[in-house]
Amino acid sequence: MKNIIKISLISACIGVGLSSCQSDLTSLNDDPKHPSILPSENLLATAMYQSSYYMDNPSVNFNNYRFFTQQWAETQYPDETQYNLVTRNQPRNHFNRMYVYSINNLKQAKMNLVNEVETDDIRTNKLATLEIEEIFIWENIVDTYGDVPYSEAFKPDEILTPKYDDAKTIYLDLIKRIDAVTATIKPAAAGYSDLVYGGNMTKWKKFANSIKLRLGINLADVDPALSKTTVESAIAAGVISSDSEAYKFSYDGNTFSSPVYDNLVASGRNDFIPSQLTINTMSSLSDPRMDVWFTKVGGVYKGGVFGELNDPYTNFSQLSPYFRGATTASNLLSYAEVAFLKAEAAARGYSAGGTAADLYAIAVKESMRENGVNSTIADTYVLANPYNPVNWKQSIGVQAWIAMFNKGFASWNFTRRLDNPTLVNPPKSNLSSVPYRMPYSDQEYVLNGANVSAAANKIGGDKATTKLFWDKF
């Protein structure tokens, strides 16, 4: 409970690191009956849960990724599909969850680990786990907002108002950090009994290289040479190559339930349905995943109109029980995603371990397998929907968008980079186009005003329609 209170207070001052907050937090941690220093493993668990839950959360109050990709529609309250990002303070809420509840705990875990009794190899592996997890969250932050506080963040004793670092500069540093940390891993030694890989450092290393692959592909249109070397080195070093290596955070269904379950079942509300774009696109391709994912209405699939009221709820297809389990894991970097990234790399002329056509087929078939479609049906689907080298962005973009259904952040990266499928700004939108980034937290304008204003001016305006540095076309 004290840690919850602590990180809640930090959320009020993370941008500026006020000394008064530091004093208050110190006094809150004074407890004569309990240890004042939390084990680093506990802090890692908290950070992993918070980041996973809120990266995957479909709530209208948080990231809104599923609306940015237009895969979900709303029923009674269409504000979020009309791209209203002000009323519910989504930019603030996601910013705080990633900085305060996630990275802050990892920073503290690194400090606490120094004084914990471990062998050198185990300590090295534990530090590597904390570092890789932190890099993973930084990638989400940068690809959500663009320029953000980075090099001067989390230094309350030194810097009260951290500057906003250039997003590409952060990218370069994250790639450098991945190379450095993967070189330290001791595969034969244990790490934490963590909630995703259980201390398997080989899997942590593959996860780190897969993050590097993501970063490298995103650089393709802005820095092709760097993109190529980054992607090829990540693949050569070993990326996720099976579902058992995917980064999946599981929930016990009791103390902690899946965020999708919480919003579709536990909430008792019927706010979300698959969009018309999702249903029509998959129907046109005779996609067998529809039978797994959605219910029918009168014997047919019917999607909701994006950006409009879709009421009553019972008139439309709904997300099936497949997504509604309390223990359903948040699959935040899947094997299917990695396979599509490799297919895209090959299409761009990189050495990716296979041809674009072969890697495309592997990616589509893995998504089918992941979603319970048998191999014979998957083979038939790929034959009917083959890779098109003339319009590879459409081939990979549309199929990756489908495969990343219910993986909002991953899907958003593909749609922004490949511009497929075509996302149309709804008629009642609050924006001039579909969103390309999340605006900055409103609290930053109060706590760190000069720096956030400078960042907004640099990127061309703090608007959801401002493209990230790597989103060139």
Name the CA dihedral angle for 469, 235, 49, 258, rounded to a multiple of 10 degrees. Answer: 100
How far is the C-alpha of 96 from the C-alpha of 441, rounded, in Å? 8
pLDDT at 266: 97
Using alpha carbons, select from 336, 333, 329, 307 the residue that is nearest to residue 260: 329
Pull the structure tokens for residue 337: 């995603």
How far is the C-alpha of 81 from the C-alpha of 58, rounded, in Å? 12
**Please, are residues 423 and 434 in contact by the beta-carbon 8 Å criterion?**
yes
- Return all residues near 89 (Cβ < 8 A) that are at least 6 apart: 61, 442
Cis before residue 58, ω within 30 degrees of 0? no
Q: Is 129 left (phi over 0), alpha (psi -120 to 50) or beta?
A: alpha
SS (H, E, C) 104-152: HHHHHHHHHHCCCCCCHHHHHHHHHHHHHHHHHHHHHHHHHHCCEECCC
Question: Mean pLDDT of all residues in the chain?
Answer: 93
Degrees, nearest 5: CA angle 407-361-273: 30
**pLDDT tens, position by position, 406-441:** 999 999 999 999 999 999 999 999 999 999 999 999
**pLDDT tens, position by position, 116-156:** 999 999 999 999 999 999 999 999 999 999 999 999 999 98
Pull the structure tokens for residue 200: 């398997």
Is the pTM here over 0.85, yes or no?
Answer: yes
**Please, are residues 372 and 245 in contact by the beta-carbon 8 Å criterion?**
no
Q: Which residue(s) pair with 248 in the sheet? A: 331
pLDDT at 473: 87
Pull the structure tokens for residue 451: 């720096």
How far is the C-alpha of 134 from the C-alpha of 153, rounded, in Å? 13
Question: For residue 221, which amino acid is it?
Answer: D
Name the CA dihedral angle for 20, 43, 99, 154, rounded to a multiple of 10 degrees. Answer: 50
pLDDT at 7: 35
Phi then psi dihedrals of residue 378, to 5 deg: -65, -40
DSSP state of 390: T
Q: Which residue(s) pair with 331 in the sheet? A: 248
Phi then psi dihedrals of residue 4, to 5 deg: -60, -45
Give the residue carrying structure tokens 């990638």: 139
Type and span of the H or E element at 148: strand 148-149
298 three-class SS = coil
Pull the structure tokens for residue 83: 């791209």
Pull the structure tokens for residue 403: 């495969």
pLDDT at 401: 98
Phi then psi dihedrals of residue 431, to 5 deg: -115, 165
**Please, are residues 454 and 334 in contact by the beta-carbon 8 Å criterion?**
no
Q: For the stretch 59-73, what's the b/e string if a residue is b when 16 or more beta carbons lie within 10 angstroms of its beta carbon? A: bbebbbbbbbbbbbb
pLDDT at 31: 53
Pull the structure tokens for residue 343: 């297919």
- pLDDT lower than 50: segments of the chain: 1-30, 32
Q: Please, where are the H alpha helices in 56-113?
A: 65-68, 90-98, 104-113
Pull the structure tokens for residue 286: 């005779």
How far is the C-alpha of 402 from the C-alpha of 64, rounded, in Å? 17
pLDDT at 35: 55
